Amino acid sequence: MSSTDQFLSFPDNFTWGAATSSFQIEGAADLDGKGPSIWDVFCRQEGKIKDGSNGDIACDHVRLYREDVALMSKLGLDAYRFSISWPRVMPTGTGAVNAPGLDFYDRLVDELLGAGITPMPTLYHWDLPQVLAEQGGWLSRDIPYAFADYTEAVLDRLGDRIGTWTTLNEPYVIANLGYVTGEMAPGHTSQADGLTASHHLMLAHGLAGERIRSLAPDSRLAIVLNFTPTEPATDSAEDHQAAEVIHDTDNRWYIDPIHGKGYPAETAEHYGWDYSEVQDGDMELISQPIDLLGINCYFRQIIGADGAVPNGPDVIQNTMGWEVHPPSIGKLLRWIHREYNPKSMMITENGCPMPDDVRGDDGHIIDHDRIAYVRDHLHQVHSAIEDGVPMEGYLVWSLFDNFEWAWGYGPTFGIVEVDYETQERRPKMSADWYSAAINANGFSLPETPVQYRGSIGPNLMDQ
Ligand code: FCB
C-alpha cells in the first residue's frame, strides 16, 4: 500500500454478500411439478424479451446449487440473498404445496448454513404463478391473501432456520413496469392498474408480515424497495414539479405508507387516484413496524418537464444506459435515515452491467469498471455509517451473470461469469476484489479517484 492509500475499515459485524433471484438463475422451469410463472409466459410472447430468450435453463442453479454455494463460500460471503419461486412451491398458486419444490429450498438453506452463509430469502421476486395472473394477478384483492397463505407454507418448512424474512422485492417495479409501462410481466399498460397493483402489493406485504410475526416470532421482518435518486434538470418551476412527481412515485410511494405516512397525497391526486382499493385496516397492516429496510439502488435520474434527460457523451454509464453516480447513494441513505429512521438498513442490491470485453491470459474477465462501481458505492455506504446511518450490510447484484428480465442475457451484472453453453462459472476480477475486501473487512481507495458528475439541479433528497 502506498502512503497516499486510504484504507476504509467496515464495522466488525458488517454483512458482505451477494443477491440473485429465482427466475433469473434457477432454470428447471417445469422440473418436479413447478407450475408456470407470469415470466415463463411473458418470455414466450413475441418481442417482449430483447434477445428472445427465457428462463428455462438460465444458470441451471436448481441442479448446480451445491457447487454454487461452494463458490460463495470460497468468495467468503457472509450472506446470500435469493428468492423463493411461488409457482415452484405452489404450482396452482393456492392450496396444495408441491413438496419437491419446497424441498429444493430446504436443501439450499441447509447447504448455506452448512457453509456458514446466512440465507436471506425473499418471498416474492416477480414470478407470480400464471394461474393467479389468470385470476386477475395483482389487480385482484384475493392475491394478497393467497400470498399470505403461500408465505405460511414456506414458513412451516423453513421458519426454524431463517433469521430475516423479506416479503417483496421492489413493488415499484412490479406495479410500474408490470402494469403501467408494460415492459415487464404481465405487461399491462394502464396507470390505473398500476395504482391498484401497488396497493395490493402493499397489502400482501402487510398480510404476510402478520403471518411472519405470528409464526416465526424470533425472525426479523424486511421488505426490499428500490430507489432512484432524482434531480430536476434545471431550477425552473416546470422541471422541479416534474421531478417531484417522479421522486414521489419512484422514491416515496412505498416507503411512506410503510412508515405510517400514507401514500404521497399530491402524487395520488396527480394520477387521479381515488383510493377506492384502500379498505379499513389496510394502512395499519401496511405500516406495521419492519426490522430491516432493504435498499436497491443502481443509478441517478435527471428529470425535466419533458421527462428523463438522456445521458450526454460526458456521462459515465453502464451498458443499460444507467448513469454511474455513487455520490447519489450516499445522499439516498442519509435521506432515508433522516426522513424515516428505519431500525436497520442494508443495500440489498447494487451493481452494474459492463462490457466485460477484456480478458486476462487465463481467460478471466478483467472488469476494472465494475470494481470501481462497487468500490465507490461501498465508499458511500462507509461514509453514511460514519454519519450514523444504521447500515448493516451490502449485497452485490449479482453473484452471477443471469437473465436480466426484458433485456434477456445481454447485460452482465455478475461478479461471476456464466458460460451458458457449459454452465461453467468463472469469477471475474471483481469477484477477486470483492473477496479480498470481505477478508480484510474493507479496502483501499485508489490514489486517483474517479470523477463523477456533480449535481445537476438541487437533489430532491437534499431538502
Ligand atoms: C432490480 C431487480 C433485479 C435485477 C436488477 C438489475 O430491479 O430487482 O432482479 O434485475 O434490477
Contact 352, 298 (CB under 8 A): yes
271-285 pLDDT per residue, tens: 999 999 999 999 999
Active-site residue list: 170, 349
What mean pLDDT is predicted for residues 128-133? 98
Cα 403 to middle of ligand 1, angstroms: 10
- pLDDT category of residue 463 using cuts at 50, 70 and 90: low
Rounded to whole angstroms, the Cα distance separating 34 from 218 reads 30
pTM across the whole model: 0.98
Residue 441 has pLDDT above 80, yes or no: yes
Query: Which residue's alpha carbon is at the smallest distance from atom 9 of ligand 1?
Result: 21
Question: Looking at ligand 1, which atom is closest to the CA of residue 411?
Answer: 6
Spatial separation of the C-alpha atoms in residues 85 and 23, rounded to whole Å? 7
Question: Closest ligand 1 atom to the C-alpha of 170?
Answer: 8
Q: DSSP for 82-112, please give it.
A: EE--HHHH-TTSSS---HHHHHHHHHHHHHH
Specify whether the CB–CB gap between 427 and 416 falls below 8 A. Answer: yes
* Of 89, 172, 91, residue with least CA distance to 138: 172
Using an 8 Å Cβ cutoff, are 258 and 286 in contact?
yes
Mutating to test ligand 1, I would choose from 296, 373, 396, 403 the residue with most ligand atoms within 8 A of its C-beta, which is 296
Indicate if the alpha-carbon torsion angle 270, 273, 279, 280 is positive or negative: positive
394/265 Cα distance (integer angstroms):
32
CATH of 6-462 given 3.30.565.10, 3.30.479.10, 3.20.20.80, 3.40.50.150: 3.20.20.80
Determine the distance separating the centroid of ligand 1 and the alpha carbon of 416, expressed in angstroms: 16
User: Whole-angstrom Cα distance, residue 407 to residue 53?
Assistant: 9
Give the span between the Cα atoms of 111 and 109, in whole angstroms: 5
Q: Give the residue, out of 170, 295, 318, 377, with the most ligand 1 atoms within 8 A of its beta carbon, to mutate for a pocket test.
A: 170
The pLDDT of residue 459: 74
C-alpha–C-alpha distance, residues 359 and 348, integer Å: 29
* Rg, C-alpha atoms of the chain: 21
Mean pLDDT of 117-131: 99
* Test site for ligand 1: of 349, 350, 399, most ligand atoms within 8 A of the Cβ: 349
329 CA → ligand 1 middle, Å: 16
CA distance 175 to 200: 10
Output the ligand 1 site: residues, CB below 6 A. 21, 24, 169-170, 173, 226, 296, 349, 397, 404-405, 413
- Gap between the Cα atoms of 275 and 259, Å rounded: 18
Q: Does pLDDT of 1 surpass 50? A: no
Q: Tell me the CA–centroid distance for residue 320 and ligand 1, in Å.
A: 12
Length reported for the chain: 463
Q: Name beta bridge partners: 226.
A: 296
CA distance 73 to 82: 15
Atom from ligand 1 closest to the CA of residue 413: 6
What pLDDT score does 191 carry? 98
Asked whether residue 454 carries a pLDDT value surpassing 90, the answer given is no
Residue 415 CA, distance from chain mean position: 16
pLDDT tens for 13-28 read: 999 999 999 999 999 9
Delimit the domains of the chain by residue range: 6-462
Is 90 exceeded by the pLDDT of residue 456?
no
In this structure, the residue with its CA closest to atom 4 of ligand 1 is 404
How close is the Cα of 166 to the center of ligand 1, in Å? 15
Place of cell 401497488: 198
